[in-house]
Structure 1
Amino acid sequence: MKFIPHDYQQYAIDFIASHKTAAVLLDMGLGKTVITLTALNDLLFDRFEISRILVIAPLR
């Protein structure tokens, strides 16, 4: 499945990729997970700018 981001999602992806620290503060259902994973995928595999990722999330 090919992900085609909305304009606001692409803006968030670009922001994450271009800043050292970032937070994605969007309402429920607007794609925070896919935004973050897309930006990390870009940084890790396309730009080779990072080698490790720290994800902080609550346990269910």
Structure 2
Amino acid sequence: MNLVVKCPTCKTAVEWTKDSQFRPFCSERCRLIDLGAWGSEQYSVPVSGLPDQSDAEPLN
């Protein structure tokens, strides 16, 4: 029994096998749409607990 996942872009069912060339995406088109969204900063990874910049030493 193979695992079936939904394409992150279009939600089409995709069989998760070594033959699925674009997994987890259903096609190159969906893969490139997702890559473009990352490149244009539509997605971001949340960051918490950044150090206070006022404590940083200046770069000389």
Q: Is TM (by shorter chain) over 0.5?
A: no
Q: TM-score, normalised by structure 2?
A: 0.30
Bigger helix share? 1
Bigger strand share? 2
